[in-house]
């Protein structure tokens, strides 16, 4: 699953590899950034980042590093510049689907976006799922996250569900 550093123009593309415990602070920082970006999209729907969010994210990801049905992969160009968290799940009757790979998180540091890092991470997650014989991959993306939606569509994902949210403190009938 690791990919090699390759030269693209004047830039070196990062390698994608499994995360290690040493990567967890960077993964936690990026996870907190993911929380912040979603909160900025819709503060009534998404959690706000807190001072302990990076550590909390890193702590959760530490529980996934050795899980055979999960992959926490990082894009590394000397520093961790992105990560993807993917897991294999069985039947989910609430989601009305059979066994699937679930792409839970994918994020690239803003300074490294637009260079193909997200595509590298997504390719690696799909390779993980293929190697495990997973029949399909599902993911959710924020309605406003058009850049991510373009990436997913370019990689063959199609829209299948629409989440709708309503706060109960609204006066809407």
Which residue ranges form the domains of the chain, and what is each CATH number?
6-154 (3.40.630.30)
| pTM of the predicted protein model | 0.90
Per-residue confidence (pLDDT) for residue 12, from 0 to 100? 77
**Confidence band, pLDDT 50/70/90 cuts, at residue 8:** very low
Check whether 5 has a pLDDT greater than 80. no
Whether 41 contacts 145, CB under 8 Å: yes
Would you list the DSSP string of the chain? -----EEETTEEEPEEEE--GGGHHHHHHHHHHHHHHHHHH-TTTSPPP-TTHHHHHHHHHHHHTT-TTEEEEEEESSSEEEEEEEEEE--BTTTTB-SEEEEEEEEE-GGGTTSSHHHHHHHHHHHHHHHTT-S-EEE---TT-HHHHHHHHHTT-----------TTS---
**Confidence band, pLDDT 50/70/90 cuts, at residue 169:** confident
Q: pLDDT tens digits for 84-107?
A: 999 999 999 999 999 999 999 999
Check whether 160 has a pLDDT greater than 90. yes
- 100-108 and 80-89 as β-strands: parallel, antiparallel, unpaired? antiparallel
Whether 88 contacts 74, CB under 8 Å: no
Q: pLDDT tens digits for 121-147?
A: 999 999 999 999 999 999 999 999 999
Per-residue confidence (pLDDT) for residue 171, from 0 to 100? 67
Per-residue confidence (pLDDT) for residue 137, from 0 to 100? 98
């Amino acid at each position: 699953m690791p990919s090699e550093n390759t030269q693209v123009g004047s830039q070196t593309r990062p390698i994608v590899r499994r995360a290690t415990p040493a990567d967890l602070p960077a993964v936690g920082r990026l996870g907190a950034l993911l929380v912040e970006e979603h909160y900025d999209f819709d503060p009534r729907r998404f959690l706000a980042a807190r001072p302990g969010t990076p550590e909390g994210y890193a702590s959760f990801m530490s529980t996934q590093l050795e899980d055979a049905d999960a992959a926490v992969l990082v894009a590394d160009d000397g520093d961790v510049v992105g990560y993807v968290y993917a897991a294999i799940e069985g039947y989910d009757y609430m989601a009305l689907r059979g066994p699937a790979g679930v792409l839970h998180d994918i994020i690239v540091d803003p300074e490294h976006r637009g260079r193909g890092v997200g595509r590298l991470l997504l390719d690696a997650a799909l390779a993980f799922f293929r190697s495990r014989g997973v029949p399909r991959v599902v993911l959710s993306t924020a309605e406003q996250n058009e850049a991510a939606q373009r990436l997913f569509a370019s990689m063959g994902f199609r829209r299948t569900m629409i989440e709708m949210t309503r706060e109960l403190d609204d006066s809407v009938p």
